[in-house]
Amino acid sequence: MKVLIASKIIGSQVKEPIELFHNEGIEIIYLDEPITEERLINAMKGVQGMLVGDFPINRKVIESSKDLKIISRVGVGVDKIDIKAASNMKVWVANTPGANSEAVAELAFGLMLAISRKIPQTFRAVKEGKWPKFFGRQLFEKTLGIIGVGAIGKKVASISKGYSMRVLGYDVNQDQEFAKKYNLTYVSLDTLLQESDYVNLHVPLIPETKDLINKDNLPLMKSTAYLINVARGGVVNSKDLYLHLKESKIAGAALDVLDVEPLKKDNPLLSLDNVIITSHIGAFTVESMRYMGMIAAQNIISVFKNKNPIYSVNKIT
């Protein structure tokens, strides 16, 4: 059996999944940077499994190997994989839910602290030889709104207990047992936006969540509130957010994800002082990548042994 690895992390920095494949007698083809559609297609001959990162896997790539059995994503989001095409070709699509929950949740809190206490602005000023005293805001006893109370959202809720925060949640699937344990109150999206001091986004990018935060509901947020997005860029309408931030209708935003990545130098969000932007690093910890890589590899090995993936996204009949 043969696996194509199209991930800039697995193999170069995280070795354990490679060792796992070798122990199973699986041949590995490693596609290093830059990963392009053409290079993927050229490398697909005789490949039964793909272990992939965040690069788009479209129909042309999927159909370029008649032997393909599974595409295993190192991470949760599969919005860049053509799942319909994969299903039509009877190819499993799998991911690694929950494997990066701690890493992403920690970044969410890091961004909340950074934007609240104006840490980047202070550091920039110090580097310029200044010694300013920026006034920030505390997280302690503030209201935290979590949009998407899944694995990551729940981890954020659990961390918030250390800050004695009031926690509101919005999700189409409500885990009442978890809510009771962590004093989380499920509310409508409008109510969450109206009452939260920090709005955290932890939903996948699907048609129902595209532009979930937009010009129609951004005005519901408090002028002192912050928006934190470590989910997917397309969940927030960036043009609407820019206009809202430019006019200081909310206190600020901290974004680890954008609708277009990498971010272009002329993106108007970069001109604002009340925005922090990081380069989609939510899952990028040594521990998280190791865990995700191992689960992604195990998904493939399971299919090679004529079993279902551990975490399948689609159904093969």
Element (H, E) at 47: none
User: CA torsion sign, 20 to 26 to 31 to 32?
Assistant: positive
Are residues 82 and 128 both part of a single domain? Answer: no
Q: DSSP character for 236?
A: B
Quote the mean pLDDT of the chain. Answer: 95
Q: What are the two backbone dihedrals, phi and then psi, of residue 312, each rounded to the nearest 5 degrees?
A: -90, 145
Residue 10: predicted pLDDT: 85
**Dihedral class, residue 248 (left if φ above 0, else alpha if ψ from -120 to 50, else beta):** left
Are residues 125 and 66 both part of a single domain? Answer: no
Active site residue 261: yes
Are residues 112 and 66 both part of a single domain? Answer: no
Q: DSSP character for 268?
A: G
Q: DSSP character for 213?
A: B
Active-site residue (options: 73, 244, 280, 290): 280
- Write out pLDDT tens, residues 45-61: 999 999 999 889 999 99
- The count of structural domains within the chain is 2
The Cα–Cα gap between 245 and 220 comes to: 14
Are residues 231 and 154 both part of a single domain? Answer: yes
Average pLDDT over residues 117-138: 96
Are residues 119 and 223 both part of a single domain? Answer: yes
Residue 8: predicted pLDDT: 78
Residue 54: CB atoms within 10 A of its CB come to 18
Residue 28: predicted pLDDT: 95
- Report residue 313 as tokens: 């996204």
Are residues 48 and 113 both part of a single domain? Answer: no
Domain with 25 in it: what CATH number?
Answer: 3.40.50.720
- Write out pLDDT tens, residues 147-165: 999 999 999 999 999 999 9
Active-site residue (options: 73, 202, 232, 290): 232
Active-site residue (options: 19, 27, 33, 261): 261
Are residues 32 and 131 both part of a single domain? Answer: no
Residue 270: CB atoms within 10 A of its CB come to 11
In a domain, 85, yes or no: yes
| Domain around 249 | 101-277
Active site residue 290: no
Strand partners, 49: 3, 70
Are residues 68 and 106 both part of a single domain? Answer: no
Would the pLDDT of 137 be above 90? Answer: yes
Residue 154: predicted pLDDT: 97
